[in-house]
Amino acid sequence: MGGDAPRPRRAPWLEIGVAAGIVAILALALGVTLWITQRRMANQRMQRVGSELQMLACACELYRGYWGQLPALDDDSVENQEVYEHLHKSPSAVGATCLVWPVELRNRKGSMLDPWDIPYRFRLFTETRIPPGNPIGILHVWSCGPNQKDENGEGDDIAIDVGRPDA
């Protein structure tokens, strides 16, 4: 009866160390997974903005082909609901629109949104070429980019010029 010796106790610090190690490994794996996911999303947004800018450029050139000019803007630089209205209007002879932008990619005002949910920006300006010295209408279109700040097509903004012969 009295011959049972007490068992030696394991050190609690060993169990705590193993548990802490497992938690650290899981946290590291989660961090790496989140980082990879975030990088993929950033790459997808950059690809989408590039595609959308090309689509806008094509729509503006198609508009110029129908109407003989780029979409007119009242201001020097505007949010784009006005441009969308121009691109969406139906040329009477053709019966088609230059651009249909999905409703889910527009805000309440009707502005076309970039992948960061900021309206695309437009500025129409004239450039004179020598020779022949004729003024050319150029439409500067840009997304405010990942920092979501309007830097007028500079900084991290992603931009394209429509109508520039060498663009």
- Which carries the bigger pLDDT value, residue 162 or residue 49? 49
Residue 91's Cβ-side half-sphere holds a number of Cα atoms within 13 Å equal to 16
Q: Indicate whether 7 belongs to any domain.
A: no
How far, rounded to the nearest angstrom, does the alpha carbon of residue 3 sit from its chain's CA centroid?
77
Q: Tens of pLDDT along 116-131?
A: 988 888 887 776 665 5
Neighbours of 145 (CB within 10 A): 23
Q: How many Cβ atoms from other residues are within 10 Å of residue 164's Cβ?
A: 14
Task: Flag whether 101 is in a domain.
Answer: yes
d(CA 125, CA 76) in angstroms, rounded, equals 8
Q: With a threshold of 0.95, does the pTM exceed it? A: no
Give the chain's domain count: 1
Indicate whether 9 belongs to any domain: no
Mean pLDDT of the chain, nearest integer: 79
Give bridge partners of residue 162 from the DSSP assignment: 139
Enclosing domain of residue 135: 15-162
Q: What is the pLDDT of residues 16-42, one digit of tens each?
A: 899 999 999 999 999 999 999 999 988
Residue 31 lies in a domain: yes
